[in-house]
Homo-oligomer: A and B are copies of this chain.
Amino acid sequence: MSTIADVAARAGVSKATASRALSGRGYVSEETRQRVVDAAGDLSYVAHSSATSLATGRTGTIAVIVPTLDRWFFTELVAGIQEALLDADLDLALYDIREGSRLRERVFEEVLPRRRFDGLIAAGIQPSAQELERLLRLERALVCVGPYSEGTSTVAIDDMSVARIATEHLLDLGHTDIAFVGAEATGASIGDERRLDGYREAMSAAGAASRVAPAESTMPSGYAAAADLLSDRRSRPTAVVGVCDEAAIGTIIAARRLGISVPSQLSVIGIDDHRDAEMFALTTIRQHPRDQGREAVRLLSARLADPDAEIEHVAAASALVMRNSTAAPAS
């Protein structure tokens, strides 16, 4: 482990000069710079990150909080964040905080306060009042991937309006008996709840009655909820909006198993445009979590570069993608 003192000695300069040469900050003659760089190369010198952090006050790492990793959305989001972070030469510290887990408590109480990071990206979580207070007390740059929230930059699709659009698509097709699959109270991300609200809003605006089959945002849970919902042929809805594509796909599989054909006997629409959506010919509202991850990093970098930089709220892109899981109801 060579230190900057070793490099300086080998190049025949002071530590200060070696530091300047390597960092590119401050004046150094080209000739000296070259000598220092060569010396560093010879010794395979790499600055000790803790020492740099202590001296500069920057850790070079960004903390990312997600409620789960086993949803396509968050997997893609984290991948996008990772890519952008690497470009910015920043590390990613991951906190996978399932709702209600003891981990969540520990992270907020013990881990986060250590501030081993320069900034924080919180995705899909709804902090409690107490948690929010803790977050703010950290005095670190903060970006939320989720709904508009005062005092911090945000990026997200408008979950409520997206769910409304999905519901209206079904309504326009002529359906009135439309159920919502998903948004189970426990474990729902903040976005899930807003999607449920959007569905309800569209339904009541159309004078139709809401009907919710609670499920987690996973295929098996959507499957189970739908199997139940669809089991009685007399009371079954003619259409379903899934809180996300996982729930919608679970619904399609349940329908197939029950011999209900999609879309002729049951229309199903999802939200997300999951990687598997095409395979099931699922009509859905597309969004691009990977891009949102990159965007979150951009927002965070802006705050990092200038803590007084403007707060931004970016509305991420979404689009209705018509495939083959929705149709007019059988007359």
- A34 proximal to B (CB < 8 A): no
Give A37-57 as 1s and 0s: 1 = Cβ < 8 Å from B's Cβ atoms: 000000010111111011000
How far apart sit A51 and B250, CA to CA, in the bound complex (Å)?
A: 50
* Contact status A86-B111, CB under 8 Å: yes
Chain A residues 204-230 with CB under 8 Å of chain B are 218-220, 223
- A180 proximal to B (CB < 8 A): no
How far apart sit A82 and B110, CA to CA, in the bound complex (Å)?
A: 15
- A5 proximal to B (CB < 8 A): no
Known: A94-B82, A220-B275. A114 touches B46 (CB 8 A): yes
Most central of A53, A218, A223 by chain B CB within 10 Å: A53
How far apart sit A88 and B304, CA to CA, in the bound complex (Å)?
A: 30
Question: How many A residues touch B, CB cutoff 8 Å?
Answer: 51
Contacts of A93 in B (CB 8 A): 61, 91-94
Contacts of A76 in B (CB 8 A): 70
- A323 proximal to B (CB < 8 A): no
The residue in chain B whose Cβ has the minimal distance to the Cβ of A50 is: B53
Residue of B54, B79, B86, B219 touching A279 (CB-CB under 8 A): B219
How far apart sit A106 and B49, CA to CA, in the bound complex (Å)?
A: 17
Contacts of A220 in B (CB 8 A): 275-276, 278-279
- A329 proximal to B (CB < 8 A): no
How far apart sit A287 and B213, CA to CA, in the bound complex (Å)?
A: 31
A275 → chain B closest CB, angstroms: 6
* Contact status B54-A83, CB under 8 Å: no
* Contact status A86-B70, CB under 8 Å: no
The residue in chain B whose Cβ has the minimal distance to the Cβ of A45 is: B113
Contacts of A223 in B (CB 8 A): 279
- A60 proximal to B (CB < 8 A): yes
Most central of A60, A86, A93, A218 by chain B CB within 10 Å: A86
- A169 proximal to B (CB < 8 A): no
Chain A residues 236-281 with CB under 8 Å of chain B are 250, 253, 256, 275-276, 278-280
How far apart sit A50 and B114, CA to CA, in the bound complex (Å)?
A: 10
* Contact status B86-A103, CB under 8 Å: yes
* Contact status A78-B69, CB under 8 Å: yes
- A311 proximal to B (CB < 8 A): no
* Contact status B275-A253, CB under 8 Å: no
- A199 proximal to B (CB < 8 A): no
How far apart sit A220 and B223, CA to CA, in the bound complex (Å)?
A: 19
* Contact status A51-B49, CB under 8 Å: no
* Contact status B116-A91, CB under 8 Å: yes
Residue of B50, B72, B95 touching A50 (CB-CB under 8 A): B50
- A301 proximal to B (CB < 8 A): no
* Contact status B75-A70, CB under 8 Å: yes
Chain A residues 135-185 with CB under 8 Å of chain B are 137
* Contact status B114-A49, CB under 8 Å: yes
* Contact status A86-B72, CB under 8 Å: no
